[in-house]
A and B are shown apart, each in its own frame.
Chain A
């Protein structure tokens, strides 16, 4: 009797396991492809982070260790800039990230205006001095005049 109950419970659990495994496979992004995406966010629940991620990953090649930088959006967007600050800490270790916005709120300009570099998410800023160090479809990286 005990073995019968055990087998019945096992059969029920197996049906559930099969259903959940099938749903897990079904929930994969088959249409978009199962290969690596350009960034870890393109096919995630937060694809809006992908441009900032891609730009900051590229910026790591031009912003040297020990330098400071800020992430701004063009046009200004406290949400994008907050996320840029957080992703900057992750992707550019060894640099000082000065927040232009924090937790969705703009910070006072004196906190980040002395940054050596500015990463601009979005279109090229109007009236910018000089040439950008790096330009991608997601944005650009600028060295402040007179900085190393």
Chain B
């Protein structure tokens, strides 16, 4: 089977695994294309969760068994929460603004695809660690702790969360080999999936259709440009921003407090938390910021907290169980002890970040969404969630860079444009938030 065909089958299996959840009436408020993409996203998170659990239990990976287990978890989660039905998404005529925004998104996705095909967006990290890990996991039919723990393999960050390598290994099992071209293609394909799902996830009411489409196109354009200039094809940054953007979009909906929406958002946050280290901080900050307005409803707060936090905690817990039992976390302090900050580097770090971003299309993928947000007028209260998250992303990046005892400039040069990629996406979501009519979570409150 060709690599792209294997990737397509993987996406279909992930969508099938997520369908017991997304086919529930609770998600009728989403558009059909958004439901399909979200089903694949949720299914992918559950697949990775099942793969980690199987590895912990010493059970060999098998494509059908893994997909079945992920589907079973989705069905149990949906049933266990007793998600009530919600109104079907209203059909409305496509406003011209939405058509123009779709054209922008298509252009951005085509640019990402052309850059990937021509090798202009290749991520060296795919070949240095994501790919070798996934290839070995597929050959071993499980997370190969012995391989990760070999001294001369430790540059592959053995402690790193497993979702990206797991899913690439799953695709390799489907294909029958690890297909490097297909791994590279995940950049434009996930960007296309984001471009399809984001407008339909954001849109809660028909009048907001144009704004949802335009804000989505802004986010997609920023990711395409950063992805091309920073070379993210095949690495963990595109999956990370995919999960993060969709999770936040769900939390900005008018029905964000509906149990089904909260649970789905929690599952996507689990995807972010297990995609990259910074995704864990993002998931924690997103859940905390989303729960703040829910403090006014103390009777439903615990249930909301469980729906938002249980998926990331379980997904990471499975990885910590596996890694802890196999001694994989010995190297986790490679960037320095947690509490030791080298504040003497602060000025140099700020300058290096500025210089690196200026080198990434003159920082325009970061400046343009910010300028749009400012030009759109005073942010609404609903924008606090994406703006707070953008601040959290920046603070965590600074925190990480301040840990390095040596000169962190080379590290910053390699990583800052990618690590800060969620920021313009969150700025675009902040532009949308609260201007679509109705505050997030105003509808869909449930006594459950």
Contact = CB atoms under 8 A, between A and B. Distances in A.
B155 to A, nearest CB: 6
A23 B225 contact: yes
A93 B207 contact: no
B82 interface: no
A42 B231 CA distance: 13
Interface stretch (A29-37, A113-121, A134-142): A29-37
A24 B114 CA distance: 10
A99 interface: yes
Given A28-B114, A37-B119, A13 B220 contact: no
A15 interface: yes
Contacts of B435: 2, 5-6, 9
A34 B117 contact: yes
Given A21-B104, A37-B118, A14 B217 contact: yes
Contact of B184 (A20, A29, A40, A97): A40
B215 interface: yes
B119 A44 contact: yes
B120 interface: yes
Given A9-B377, A12-B376, A13-B372, A21 B431 contact: no
Contacts of B365: 20, 23
Interface string B382-400: 0000000000000000000
A36 B180 CA distance: 13
Nearest to A36: B117
A62 interface: no
Contact of A20 (B108, B128, B437): B108
**B208, B225, B230: most-surrounded residue (chain A CB, <10 A):** B225
A91 B372 CA distance: 44
Contact of A17 (B104, B122, B180, B231): B104
Which 4 interchain pairs have the tightest Cβ spacing? Answer: A20-B221, A17-B217, A24-B111, A13-B214
11 contacts: A2-B435, A5-B377, A7-B210, A14-B101, A18-B221, A22-B107, A24-B225, A27-B228, A37-B118, A40-B127, A41-B119
